Amino acid sequence: MTAANSTHIQSFWRQTGEKRTYDKLNENLEVDVLVAGAGIAGIASAYLLAEKGFKVALLEAREIMSGTTGFTTAKLTAQHNLIYDELINRYGQDMAKLYYQANMEGIALARELAEKHNIDADLEEQDAFVFTQDAKNRDKVKKEAEAYEKLGIEGAFIENLPLNIDVEAAVMMRNQAQFHPVKFLNGLLKELETKGAKIFEHSKLMEAEIDGEKVLGKTDAGHTVTCRHLVQATHLPIDEREENFYSANLNPESSYALAVKTDKEFPDGVYINADLPKRTIRKMKADGEDYILVGGESHPTGDGLSSEKRYKELKTYADELHGNKEVAYQWSSHDYISADRIPFIGQLHPDEQGIYTVTGFGKWGLASALTGGKLLSDIISGKEDNPYQELFSPQREIKEMEHVEPKEENDENYPDSSSAASRPEDLQENQGAVMKVGGEDVGAYKDKGGSVHLLDLTCTHLGCGVQWNDGDCTWDCPCHGSRFGATGEVIEGPAVEDLKKVNE
């Protein structure tokens, strides 16, 4: 493989939204509620708790919105590909309807908060579509439309789209939305500041300990945050305790996106296919210029196949779909899918009061994260009539679903991401590879200055072997989704420690 794609990895949302910065926590702190993780789930939880009068601290291990939320497709929708027919089959109509309502309430809450605080978040109502171009998937789409009818979801089965593609069938869901997540959450952060919340970046929660009626959260700098309640709005909880429940029931997946400049009008609506390879599409605007977002290429994180190739596949698709002037931004996203495709929101462990989790959104977390923040604020404030507590409870009976979204196949279209170089010095600049050094497999990376960095491939979370990601220049863990920079620093958990260096 050649050196990594020359297009810089940048999120459209983070580049076109205001960048808010905060200090690192440099002292011990005492609050009512500590929220760890500053994506949409964490920021929404912190905001809704502060609204109820709680004294709140929000900690982010890296930068605000530097995880999944800042690298999303920004569809605010209850249409999570093909899911409702499967939910009915597994859990019954009542629970499937509850899942739909939970997401619709998240969309409504986004609208309410944007209006209440005068947040210009480019929030627009859109119809959402799942389509297939494969005759073999027509019946699945038809069954999904029938599920909509059973649940009273406003939508329809259709056989064409206003896109430059031929389709076999599609199912439409009305009254969905799209927005700019960074602009929206910046508005909530401003409100948090006015409510006296303490917000910190580059402050990593390393462990949590229950001490009587208090919870002690300890950071990587050795400071302690004492609180009554701790919300872990992170990929995986930092302290799993029993049998690694969350690691065993959440599977990490990666996907990719391009923001493509265009001078041709693109139709309204947000679109995703039910086929392989995955494709998701919507339009955007920034600074007076029109863009389309083309995403997809989903796969298990850390599969060792070329993500650079995946970016190229998306560019080819964008060209064929609509033509493009320029790929302005490209980025990848990493999320966790639960065994039944329903998030875990609630008490982290059944026998421990005071620590909560919100995770497992399965790449569809924008609406349900807002509802999840409302659920946690109700639980923490003692309000016991939230209708979604049982639906999202980590302690629920999990009925594993037949994963109706097909998996990408590991074939010749996606070559191995490793370089052909057999010695570290033979690598090109900004290139990495797994290779033998001193008889052992190590991770080798040559930086842009020509210096070589050798790394132990053992993930510091639970010991799996990481793989090189040639499109993003990262080392990714195939077991639980931890990601490390090219020189070994943690950039996404659940790992909290960097990869170890290897001396030649």
pLDDT tens by residue, 53-97 = 999 999 999 999 999 999 999 999 999 999 999 999 999 999 999
Closest CA relative to residue 142, chosen from 154, 130, 152: 130
Q: What's the sign of the alpha-carbon dihedral 308, 460, 426, 423? A: negative
Residue 167 confidence (pLDDT) above 90:
yes
| Helix (H), strand (E) at residue 278 | none
Residue 4 confidence (pLDDT) above 70:
no
pLDDT tens by residue, 441-474 = 899 999 999 999 999 999 998 899 999 999 899 9
Closest CA relative to residue 402, chosen from 152, 145, 140, 135: 140
Q: Name the pairing type of β-strands 29-30 and 352-359.
A: unpaired
In 7-116, alpha helices (H): 12-16, 40-51, 84-91, 93-116
* Burial class of residue 397, CB neighbours in 10 A (0-12, 13-18, 19+): exposed
pLDDT at site 403: 52
The verdict on whether omega for the bond into residue 277 sits within 30 degrees of 0, i.e. cis, is yes
- Nearest-angstrom CA–CA distance, 180 and 382: 33
SS (H, E, C) 295-353: EEEEEECCCCECHHHHHHHHHHHHHHHHCCCEEEEEEEEEEEEECCCCCEEEEEECCEE
Sequence-ordered list of residues with C-beta below 8 angstroms from that of 149, at least 6 positions apart, any chain: none
pLDDT at site 487: 95
pLDDT tens by residue, 241-261 = 767 889 889 999 999 999 999
pLDDT at site 2: 36
Sequence-ordered list of residues with C-beta below 8 angstroms from that of 259, at least 6 positions apart, any chain: 12, 284, 291, 292, 293, 327, 328, 329, 330
Sequence-ordered list of residues with C-beta below 8 angstroms from that of 313, at least 6 positions apart, any chain: 277, 297, 413
CB-CB contact of 473 with 487 (8 Å): no
Least confident of 27-31, 219-223, 256-260, 460-464: 460-464
Q: How confident is the model at residue 493 (pLDDT cuts 50, 70, 90)?
A: confident
Give the mean pLDDT of 137-147: 98
Closest CA relative to residue 8, chosen from 483, 329, 334: 329
- Nearest-angstrom CA–CA distance, 458 and 139: 44
- Nearest-angstrom CA–CA distance, 401 and 398: 9
Please state which CATH number belongs to domain 424-492: 2.102.10.10
pLDDT tens by residue, 349-363 = 988 899 999 999 999
- Nearest-angstrom CA–CA distance, 193 and 180: 21
Q: How confident is the model at residue 43 (pLDDT cuts 50, 70, 90)?
A: very high
Apex 316 CA angle, 315 and 317, nearest 5: 90
Percent composition of the chain: helix, strand, coil (DSSP 3-state, to 5): 25, 30, 40
pLDDT at site 3: 39
Dihedral angle, C-alpha 298, 302, 308, 311, nearest 10 °: 20
CB-CB contact of 138 with 282 (8 Å): no
Residue 344 confidence (pLDDT) above 70:
yes
Percent of the chain with pLDDT over 70: 94
How high is the mean pLDDT of the chain? 92
pLDDT tens by residue, 89-124 = 999 999 999 999 999 999 999 999 999 999 999 999
* Burial class of residue 55, CB neighbours in 10 A (0-12, 13-18, 19+): middle
- Nearest-angstrom CA–CA distance, 14 and 62: 14
Give the mean pLDDT of 294-304: 93
Structure tokens at 462: 């639970």
